[in-house]
Structures are given as structure tokens and as C-alpha cells.
Amino acid sequence: MFIATVIAARRLNENAIDRVEQILAQAGCEPAGWRWIDEGDAADVEFRQGLVNARAALRDAVEGCDIVVQAAIGREKAILISDMDSTMIGQECIDELADLAGVGREVAAVTERAMRGEIDFVGALNDRVALLAGLPVGKVAECLATRIHDTPGAQTLVRTMRARGALTILVSGGFRRFAGPVAQRLGFERVHCNVLGAADGCLMGKVEGPIVDAAAKLAALEQACVARGVDRTAVLAIGDGANDLPMIEAAGLGVAFNAKPIVAAAAAAAIAHNDLTALLWVQGISRAHWIEG
């Protein structure tokens, strides 16, 4: 059995659910009824066959709704692994830091191209970091305190999954001076990220140690599976940029969150109309069981 979870927080009605059933029937997927997860927020529509057909037919099919299609068995995941910038937080940290350094527009343009997969991530990161040379380290703390904000629903998602026994991992092409505090605030157990070189109270304009890129994110996913003794089907992976694609494609449920087109097109699921708590409904977890952030 398969499930299409229909989500439109505080605005979902039965007309939208009926429309999903009609589309599934037209695609030959044999819908088998539906039920509320939380009335007015999210509902599960069951169907008997045609997972691939269902995903194709339901993509952007109901205005204002996110629809995630998956197998019914194993929908609640044992591992959460997520990108940070523009995913767990609403900003790109390097862009915000560059703005404080007076090179914001130049750096933001490179970031956008890298996240769209148009240029090499590692080279783009090194080029952007080089422009930060000489910036006082104190500007990082200022940026974190004044410009970096959690994505709505992030803390609730992470803390609820952790409370239910999931391993929670933040993987970021960004920097430890941001990722460490963000991970602690949201409730992540592990953090994989880059380190900004600094000396004499200023940034050196380089990254120290191996760079966390797309391959490193995928490796973190694989290591987590070994640590938990599960396979990739037990993983929920979330990201928005091209460097998130390998882990998104490897996960049992890979989710493009407010993502760049290349990521949204490749991911098994996309969230574009709701906040991150949608991914609790996707796992069949009703609001009564959330650990609110």
C-alpha cells in the first residue's frame, strides 16, 4: 500500500482531498480511501499501485498544497539529515557575512549560481571565503545574533524526531561558528560543517581542513546508517541546493525544501507551501505528538 499525504496547514479541505483521489484514479493508482492526520491540516490518501505514476501525476496538482507520495511501510524515519542554509535557517550565512564585509552583492551572486548547480561548489566556496579576509571575527557573532533566523517549524521537526528516537544530523557547506549554535538551538545531535580560518582576531580568507561538499554530505548519511544499523530507506534528507542532491537522492525520503529548480525536479518530494512541520505529517505524526519549538 502507498500513501499520498496532502498538506495545507490550517486550510486543507475535503475538496482538495477529493481532487487527489480523482487524479490517482485517472493515473490508474487505485485509491483506497483517505483519513485525516490533523483535520484541516493534513490527510493521507491511500492507493494500491503506481508509486512513480502517482508522484508524476500529483506534482503541483492541487494549488496551495504539498503532496508527498511514498510507501506506507517505513514512513517514520530513524535518521534526519539536513542542510542548514536556506533550509533549517532562512538565510545563506556567507551572504549575510559578506554583506557586513561590504562584498554582499558579489558573494550572493556566486552563492546563487553554486546552489543552482551552475558552478563547482568547492571552487565557489573558496572564492567567496577569500573575499572575507581581514573581517573581524566578532562580525560572525554579530551576524549570527542579528541576521540569522530559524526556519519556521525547524525546531519542532528536529526535537520531535529526536524525542521519538531518530538520529538528527546537521550537514552544512557553511561554517562551524554558525552551525554549532544553530544545531544546539534546534536540537541536532551531530554537526558536519566547514571551519573558517582565523588569526589575530580576523578571518584569514580560507577554509581550514577538508571541505564539506556534496560528497561529504552523502558520506555523513552513509555513516549514520551504519551507526544506527539501518539502510537508506530509514533516512529523511532535506535540502535546497545542488550540493544537497546526492544525499537527497540517496535517502529513503529525499525532500526539496523551498528548493532551487534542479533540486525540486530531482527530489522524490518537495515542500513549497508549508513550513518544516509538514515533514512530521509526512511521517504520520499528528500535532498532538509534536514537541513544539
Q: Alpha-carbon distance 118 to 89, whole Å? A: 23
Q: What are 190's strand-pairing partners?
A: 169
- The answer to whether 66 is a known catalytic residue is no
In 3D space, the residue among 215, 212, 205, 257 whose CA is nearest the CA of residue 236 turns out to be 257
Cross-strand pairs, 255: 238, 269
Residues 6+ positions from 290 with CB-CB distance below 8 Å: 156, 160, 277, 280
DSSP state of 150: B
Q: Which of 85, 95, 240, 244 is catalytic?
A: 85
Using the 8-state DSSP alphabet, how is residue 272 labeled?
A: -
Segments in 102-251 forming alpha helices (H) = 104-115, 121-130, 138-147, 154-163, 176-186, 214-228, 245-250
Question: Cβ distance 53 to 27 under 8 Å?
Answer: yes
Catalytic, 231? Answer no
Tell me the three state secondary structure of residue 135: coil
Distance CA(70)–CA(72), nearest Å, equals 6
Instruction: Give residue 125's identity as a one-letter amino acid code.
Output: L
Give 114's Cβ-side CA count (13 Å radius): 25
Catalytic residue of the set 83, 95, 240, 244 = 83
Residue of 146, 140, 148 lying closest to 176 (CA atoms): 140
Q: Catalytic residue positions?
A: 83, 85
